[in-house]
Amino acid sequence: MRKVPAAARAAAGGGMIFGAAYWTAFRPRSQVFGAFPYRAPTRDKVVALTFDDGPNEPYTSRLLDVLDQRGVKATFFQVGRCAERFPSCTRRVVESGHVLGTHSYSHSFTSYVRQPRQRREIRRTQEILHGIAGVTPGLYRPPWLCHWPWVLDAVDERGLQVVSGTFAHPLEVLQPPARVLTTGAARVARPGAILILHDGREARGGPRAQSVAAVGPLIDRLTADGYTFVTVDRLLGVAPYLP
Ligand SMILES: [Zn+2]
């Protein structure tokens, strides 16, 4: 079990300090509470495309069309509640050779405040994804990249590999034009990067047309730059699924 540093406990309780604590714990590259890989240490021109908050139709199916047309495999961190809504889409992710990861059941901020709820969220989602797609994900990305010590403990207990990444574009949630997203993502891509895009929006879905439209041109641009695409498990050298 990781010990919660006294400083972190104190910070979590208090007003303005909370802002600093939040940034320390949630920023994508924070390693302060333990290993939270956002890239692989390699000089090879490989990147992992990851998509969070799906499935969310019709966007996830369109995205799968784009990836499958180009023969690119990606990693999908799906929300349990969304998988219940679009189970055939979750199945297609696995059947097409992409990797399915876990991204909580409800994508609810309050589930991070206490560990028991966090444990239930992970267990429930794993059961749902296994029931739908026949696999038990070995990769977990916490919503908002929250990696409080008790979150990492809950992830460890389930034998999961926690995964961070680099946001493809800071304003993706607002759906700027696809070419803006493509340019932003190409700019942050580098050897070993794990790029974060969204085919859904938390557990409630929402428009993702610009994100989906950005992906084909992004793949084409990075391919022209000499990049190839791998799933996160291969990038990190871990198993995609639990036995
Ligand atoms: Zn998310």
Q: What is the pLDDT of residues 101-111, one digit of tens each?
A: 999 999 987 76
Q: How far is the CA of 205 from the centre of ligand 1 (A)?
A: 11
| pLDDT of 214 above 90 | yes
| pLDDT of 168 above 90 | yes
Q: How far is the CA of 44 from the centre of ligand 1 (A)?
A: 28
Q: How far is the CA of 51 from the centre of ligand 1 (A)?
A: 9
- What does the pLDDT look like over 47-58, one tens digit per residue? 999 999 999 999
Contact 137, 242 (CB under 8 A): yes
- What does the pLDDT look like over 228-239, one tens digit per residue? 999 999 999 999
Q: How far is the CA of 164 from the centre of ligand 1 (A)?
A: 11
Q: How far is the CA of 68 from the centre of ligand 1 (A)?
A: 23
Q: With the CA atoms of 238, 40, 172 and 18 taken in that order, what torsion angle do they form, in degrees rounded to the nearest 10?
A: 90
Task: State the chain's mean pLDDT as an integer.
Answer: 89
The dihedral of CA 146, 76, 226, 183: what is its sign?
A: negative
111: helix, strand or coil:
helix
Q: What share of the chain is helix, strand, coil (3-state, %, to 5)?
A: 50, 15, 40
Q: How far is the CA of 197 from the centre of ligand 1 (A)?
A: 10
Look at residue 25 in the predicted model and tell me its pLDDT.
Answer: 56
- What does the pLDDT look like over 114-157, one tens digit per residue? 667 888 999 999 999 999 999 999 999 999 888 888 888 889 99
